[in-house]
Structure 1
Amino acid sequence: MTSIFSGANKIIRTDNLQLLESVPDASVTMIYVDPPFNTGRTQARSAMTAVRVADGEGDRVGFGGHSYETLRGALASYDDAFTNYWDFLEPRLEHAWRILADDGTLYLHLDYREVHYAKVMLDMIFGRDHFLNEIIWAYDYGGRSKRKWPAKHDTILVYVKDPKNYWFDTEEVDREPYMAPGLVTAEKRARGKLPTDVWWHTIVSPTGKEKTGYPTQKPVGLVRRMVAASSRPDDWVLDFFAGSGTLGAAAEQLGRKYVLVDQNPQAIEIMTSRFPEAEFISD
């Protein structure tokens, strides 16, 4: 089978788990995924066994010496929704670890409802020392609840395949204006400052040119920053919950190659229209 990470950029209509099972180890430099929040679907778990965890007794050792299955059981008993979400996402993230290159990076984009589960899951799959960052994407748009603090952020968990050998290039990252420009030199003001782990970035404007009509579309500027930092020109990047294809747009701007995977007919229609030169593959 010809690798999907060769030739032209690709848009693939298929079940992402089925595709991931066929991808060779260490194939891709950077993965960005923005999965559906709590799908409620229970998926049959794949036969994957290559999981990075600490050494120790028991099935897989996690926090405080507790085994992997013990931790899963405790979380499942706490929240019934946990089991469905874990069973859906876990095999896909296990494959993400497997197919990342040795210097590769995973960006997992979630909201406040699921990020705590995913953090535990990724600590188990990658290992806690492979955790690089928790990025907070903060925006200011939408309704204002008077019964709680309005939720105006998403969380992006960043894990690396090898904590001693991952690619990260701050020189490629778009810089930000200083919040107190009068306190820095003119040279620094002109260059801007490197972003921290809190990113203020507007959502996709409902009336702007970037809008595709896909309900969960993310802004190109947000994803571009990840692609710039964690891949090089001509590297391959992957999104297996591609939606509107924002990763592809960021990759094209930066000279990276991309594979976008989705099953949703609306997503496929939008992406093939957005990237007419990409190779389209359907199962």
Structure 2
Amino acid sequence: MHAQPHNPALPETGAPAVNAGMPAQENTVLHGDNMKALSGLPDESFTLIYVDPPFNTGRKQTRAQRTMVRAAEGEGDRVGFKGLSYNTELGSARSYHDSFDDYLSFIEPRLLQAYRLLAEDGTLYVHLDYREVHYVKVLLDQIFGRENFLNELIWAYDYGARAKSRWPAKHDTILVYVKNVKKYHFDSAEVDREPYMAPGLVTPEKRALGKLPTDVWWHTIVSPTGKEKTGYPTQKPEGILRRIIAASSRPGDWVLDFFAGSGTTGAVAAKLDRRFVLIDQNPEAIEVMRSRLPETTTYSEA
């Protein structure tokens, strides 16, 4: 028996409404409480919503900014390309709080807003870790209906802690729900292909073409010294968002991320000719986005 989509009336707030049917005039970043900002956006105006909410680890997340500076031969604290010496300089740390006493009470009203804001052909991606994913899955079944559950994506990586008293946690989970399972947009032809894990078992033509990704994605994290690095502690790699945005939206569609963080969703959306609305209440996130997103992006208080 399928659960019925749960779509109760949402509370009204004093947030100003934008033009009916259009979430914004241009690419927009809103600074402030996402509940207030979401309530001012029009119904069914986004083809794609991606959110990477706090994981509820119970601690403050901090990442110091690291800069690699050339040093005299043999005098650096690490060796880089072609054996050259480098010193690592630590800059100001970026941080955010990742702890809620009742995580579901926090996330539920925001997911209800996501349901309201998705177009009939829209898709929601919710990026979580092992601590909360099973609870949020049940909640999303109630909001969207189990028949509208599309995928559980596993993003696997090999970086970070090396636990010896348990199996080390090396993956995140991305839950995928659609507004209407009979109408949602999905275009696998737009997704970057990847190498076969056993190339000797396929023809040369298939090896050259590559295969479509499955629901398990092997992708590195953002390199601490790579060109994507912003220094923001929860930054996700552009390759993960590129796959999501390419598959579940079209050029010109509106994309929403209301836990925007470092702005990866907006950066990728702009490169793929999508329009975006990003929301975050952390001033450090807004600072990072100002340096990363197209100059034409509009910034305002939620």
Q: Counterparts of 1:99-178 in structure 2 under 5 Å?
A: 99-178=117-196
Retained in 1: the 8 A contact 2:50–2:126? yes
> Equivalents in 2 of 1:225, 1:84: separation in Å?
32
> Equivalents in 2 of 1:243, 1:98: separation in Å?
22
Equivalent residue for 2:106?
88
Q: Deviations over 1:211-238 (max 9, x none)?
A: 0010000000011100000000010000
- More deviation, 170-179/15-24: 15-24
> How far off is 1:161 after superposition?
0.0
Retained in 2: the 8 A contact 1:239–1:261? yes
Retained in 2: the 8 A contact 1:11–1:272? no
- Larger radius of gyration between Structure 1 and Structure 2: 2
Give the alignment's Cα RMSD to 1 decimal.
1.5
Indicate the structure with greater strand content: 2
Candidates 24, 30, 33, aligned match of 2:51: 33
> Equivalents in 2 of 1:191, 1:197: separation in Å?
19
Retained in 2: the 8 A contact 1:39–1:85? no
Instruction: Give percent identity, aligned residues only.
Output: 68
State the number of aligned residues. 243
Amino acid across the alignment from 1:280: Y
Q: Deviations over 1:77-131 (max 9, x none)?
A: xxxx997111100000001001100000000000111101100100000001110
Amino acid across the alignment from 1:114: E
Q: Counterparts of 1:117-266 in structure 2 under 5 Å?
A: 117-266=135-284
Retained in 1: the 8 A contact 2:100–2:106? no
Retained in 2: the 8 A contact 1:220–1:246? yes
> How far off is 1:38 after superposition?
2.1
> Equivalents in 2 of 1:254, 1:184: separation in Å?
31
Equivalent residue for 1:280?
299
Runs of 4+ deviating beyond 6 Å:
none
> How far off is 1:261 after superposition?
0.4
Retained in 2: the 8 A contact 1:82–1:117? no
> Equivalents in 2 of 1:39, 1:161: separation in Å?
29
Retained in 2: the 8 A contact 1:30–1:105? yes
For the pair 1:2 / 2:21, whether they are aligned, the reply is: no
| TM-score of the two chains, using structure 2 as the length reference | 0.78
SS in 2 for 1:249: helix
SS in 2 for 1:32: strand
